[in-house]
């Protein structure tokens, strides 16, 4: 589905906006401070339930207003879907799909697969493992129907286990949590491993177009030793985990490492090259989703000119069968 219309009310500095969008590439052109990024952030929020520039809801709702309202229309080949999100200053959300309330934000995310490309986005490569786990989990979420529920349960169980580590003295007291945690951890790790193996060729091909001077390799690290059962790892590391008061091994510690000519990309590539690589990885993910599921991916590109001046032609930047909304700074005409 393609986002064909966007209505914004009291979001950031936008009192009201009604935008018609076309399939393919949409440019937002204007001076700094004109609201381009706010429009991109509104689209992102409609699909994720949260903004990408601030986690504080008070900064996202327009000054002296109680809530923001976002509506969108998704155009498919055979039908149109209406979606909406309202969020107030207390953080309470209301999700509406085709006129009915009571839906979850995850349903919006499923309806609107999107990739965000921003000046800060290269933290995917030089930031902590959590950014690369999120990269893999985006793909797993859109490719495995049960992933979101399993991932949510995993987070809950790890949090509970960490709290229990402060109170128990013997591993047997911790076993009830581990009996639930182990199958979830192994399933999530299998999904991540399968996804990373399936997409690696797409990533290599796209990255070669952006950075042909490097040979890039990709490796998934599941968060505990290879060829070792997770149950064994948890029991063997109980005393260490108890001293640390957190679970030191598991899918919540997984990583997806990328090397250029055998060295970590964060140590080898320049800042500009890292941005190009980040862009290539995001594009590859969207292309892979379209190839395996037939669903269109929406790319949100902020500060287009400054970030992609050295990138390949637009035909490479925007894959076929995809949509994009790009913020473009108006050049000085003097």
* Binding site, annotated residues for ATP: 30-37
Q: What is the DSSP letter of 222?
A: -
Structure tokens at 318: 């925007």
What phi and psi, each to the nearest 5 degrees, are found at residue 168?
-90, 160
The two most distant CA atoms of the chain are separated, in Å, by 75
* Contact assessment for residue 221 and residue 302, using Cβ atoms and an 8 Å cutoff: no
If DSSP codes are grouped into helix, strand and coil, which group holds residue 8? strand
CA distance 53 to 43: 13
Q: What is the DSSP letter of 79?
A: -
CA distance 255 to 137: 11
Neighbours of 113 (CB within 10 A): 22
Nearest to residue 260, comparing CAs of 295, 218, 313?
218
CA-CA-CA-CA dihedral for 36, 41, 43, 48, to nearest 10: 170
CA distance 237 to 240: 5
Structure tokens at 254: 């997984």
Residues 6+ apart with CB under 8 A from 150: 184, 187, 188, 191
Residue ranges for the known binding site are: 30-37
DSSP strand pairing (263-264 vs 255-260):
antiparallel
């Amino acid at each position: 589905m393609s986002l064909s219309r966007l209505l914004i009310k009291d979001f950031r500095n936008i009192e009201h906006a009604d935008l018609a969008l076309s399939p393919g590439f949409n440019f937002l052109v204007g001076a700094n401070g004109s609201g381009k990024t706010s429009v991109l952030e509104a689209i992102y929020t409609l699909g994720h339930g949260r903004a990408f520039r601030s986690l504080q809801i008070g900064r996202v709702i327009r000054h002296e207003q109680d809530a923001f309202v976002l509506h969108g229309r998704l155009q498919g080949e055979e039908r149109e879907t209406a979606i909406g999100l309202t969020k107030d200053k207390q953080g309470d959300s209301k999700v509406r799909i085709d006129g009915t309330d009571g839906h979850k934000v995850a349903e919006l995310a499923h309806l609107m697969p999107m990739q965000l490309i921003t000046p800060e986005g290269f933290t995917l490569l030089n930031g902590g493992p959590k950014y690369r786990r999120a990269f893999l989990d985006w793909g797993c979420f859109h490719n495995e129907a049960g992933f979101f529920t399993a991932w949510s349960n995993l987070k809950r169980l790890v949090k509970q286990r960490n709290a229990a580590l402060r109170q128990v003295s013997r591993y047997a007291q911790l076993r009830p949590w581990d009996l639930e945690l182990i199958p979830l951890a192994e399933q999530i790790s299998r999904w991540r491993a399968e996804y990373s193996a399936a997409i690696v060729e797409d990533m290599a091909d796209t990255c070669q177009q952006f950075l042909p001077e490097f040979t890039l390799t990709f490796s998934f690290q599941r968060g505990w030793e290879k060829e070792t059962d997770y149950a064994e790892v948890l029991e063997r590391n109980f005393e260490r985990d108890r001293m640390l008061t957190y679970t030191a091994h598991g899918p919540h510690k997984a990583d997806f490492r990328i090397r250029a000519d055998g060295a970590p990309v964060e140590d080898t590539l320049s800042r500009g090259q890292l941005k190009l690589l980040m862009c290539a990885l995001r594009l590859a993910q969207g292309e892979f989703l379209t190839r395996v599921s037939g669903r269109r991916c929406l790319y949100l590109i902020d500060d287009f000119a400054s970030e992609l001046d050295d990138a390949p032609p637009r035909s490479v930047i925007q894959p076929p069968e995809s949509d994009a909304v790009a913020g473009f700074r108006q050049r000085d005409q003097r």
